[in-house]
């Protein structure tokens, strides 16, 4: 005969104090695409809502400390500011965000990004794809590769982004950055070094678009930390939590930091269409 087991549950109302709201500013000026800036405010940790977008502010772009564009808010996407301006390699860029008096978020404040020099980049040498039978760590199917040569001279950093069939791979696991510390002047040509594999197994008809952008050393460190902090799974081997501050600061109080990053990048693209 077994004794009855009786349990009970208490409802615990977890209440956390709401911390200081921070402004989030992300954007990029490039030599290929129009400049854009997205502006948000942080949301409460337990809030079911997304980060609120911030409208009705002034966003100025400076090239070599000269005002070159005032971005206009997108008619269909609140908090997204755009301008057709195209930058050039070797020039320095920063943005200024002015929040007017009486604004519901960050009233009467001015935010700036640290200057970023638009660095060099080289296009891919070529690309190819091949069909592989199933083997350890590889499913059967098509695999795409890009061959490129890293220019000689230390100090280059890069970010790679991939679209497959017009869908951007945009999770924390898709943040792909690297620098030339150990590959300066080397060629990924299947002779010097293996060609760079793009994506995972594909099928006939798939189309890859690969974007390679030049980024600063500071931008590289920011994205690397962002990836490290967002892919944590709770294991003992995860890095300790750390604040992820980018290059946004309050112009009148340098101790008041914003979140996000404004990049200056040259861009190059490679298109790979898988055919039978």
**Do both 136 and 215 map to the same domain?**
yes
**Do both 252 and 206 map to the same domain?**
no
**Do both 114 and 28 map to the same domain?**
yes
Residue 6 lies in a domain: no
- CB atoms closer than 10 angstroms to residue 152: 10
- The total domain count for the chain is 2
Task: Tell me what pLDDT residue 5 has.
Answer: 47
Contact 217, 192 (CB under 8 A): no
**Do both 132 and 203 map to the same domain?**
yes
CATH number of the structural domain spanning residue 131: 2.60.40
Give tens-digit pLDDT for 28-43.
Answer: 999 999 999 999 999 8
Nearest CA to 164 out of 211, 199, 140, 196 is that of: 199
**Do both 161 and 215 map to the same domain?**
yes
**Do both 40 and 111 map to the same domain?**
yes
Task: Tell me what pLDDT residue 16 has.
Answer: 47
Residue 134 lies in a domain: yes
**Do both 133 and 115 map to the same domain?**
no
Which tokens is 11 given? 């409802």
* Paired strand residues for 117: 92
Task: Tell me what pLDDT residue 154 has.
Answer: 97
Residue 35 lies in a domain: yes
Which tokens is 71 given? 């971005």
Task: Tell me what pLDDT residue 230 has.
Answer: 79
Question: Chain centroid to CA 43: how far?
Answer: 20
pTM confidence score: 0.88
Please give the residue range of the domain that contains residue 252: 23-119+243-265
Residues with pLDDT less than 50, the chain: 1-2, 4-5, 12-14, 16, 48
**Do both 40 and 108 map to the same domain?**
yes
Residue 171 lies in a domain: yes
Contact partners, residue 137, CB within 8 Å, separation at least 6: none
**Do both 253 and 168 map to the same domain?**
no
**Do both 107 and 170 map to the same domain?**
no
Task: Tell me what pLDDT residue 89 has.
Answer: 98
* Strands 187-188 and 141-149, bridge-based pairing: antiparallel
Nearest CA to 246 out of 62, 157, 114 is that of: 114
Residue 7 lies in a domain: no
User: CA 160, CA 215: separation in Å to the nearest integer?
Assistant: 10
Residue 11 lies in a domain: no
Residue 17 lies in a domain: no
Residue 5 lies in a domain: no
User: CA 98, CA 83: separation in Å to the nearest integer?
Assistant: 17
């Amino acid at each position: 005969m077994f004794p009855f087991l009786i349990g009970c549950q208490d409802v615990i109302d977890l209440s956390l104090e709401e911390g200081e709201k921070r402004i989030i500013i992300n954007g990029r000026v490039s030599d290929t695409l129009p400049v854009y800036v997205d502006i948000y405010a942080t949301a409460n940790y337990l809030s079911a809502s997304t980060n609120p977008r911030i409208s009705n502010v002034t966003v100025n772009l400076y090239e070599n400390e000269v005002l070159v564009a005032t971005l206009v808010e997108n008619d269909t996407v609140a908090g997204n500011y755009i301008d057709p301006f195209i930058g050039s390699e070797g020039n320095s860029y920063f943005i200024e965000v002015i929040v007017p008096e009486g604004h519901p978020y960050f009233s009467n404040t001015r935010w700036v990004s640290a200057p970023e020099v638009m660095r060099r980049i080289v296009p891919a040498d070529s690309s190819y794809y091949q069909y592989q039978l199933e083997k350890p760590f590889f499913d059967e199917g098509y695999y795409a590769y890009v061959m490129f040569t890293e220019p000689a001279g230390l100090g280059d950093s890069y970010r790679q982004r991939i679209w497959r069939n017009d869908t951007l791979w945009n999770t924390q696991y898709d943040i792909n950055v690297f620098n030339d510390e150990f590959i300066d002047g080397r060629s990924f040509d299947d002779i010097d070094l293996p060609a760079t594999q793009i994506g995972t197994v594909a099928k006939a008809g798939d189309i890859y678009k690969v974007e390679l952008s030049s980024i600063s050393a500071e931008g590289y460190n920011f994205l690397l930390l962002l990836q490290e902090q967002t892919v944590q799974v709770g294991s003992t081997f995860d890095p300790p939590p750390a604040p992820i501050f980018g290059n946004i600061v309050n112009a009148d109080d340098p101790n008041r930091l914003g979140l996000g990053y404004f990049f200056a990048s040259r861009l190059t693209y490679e298109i790979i269409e898988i055919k039978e």
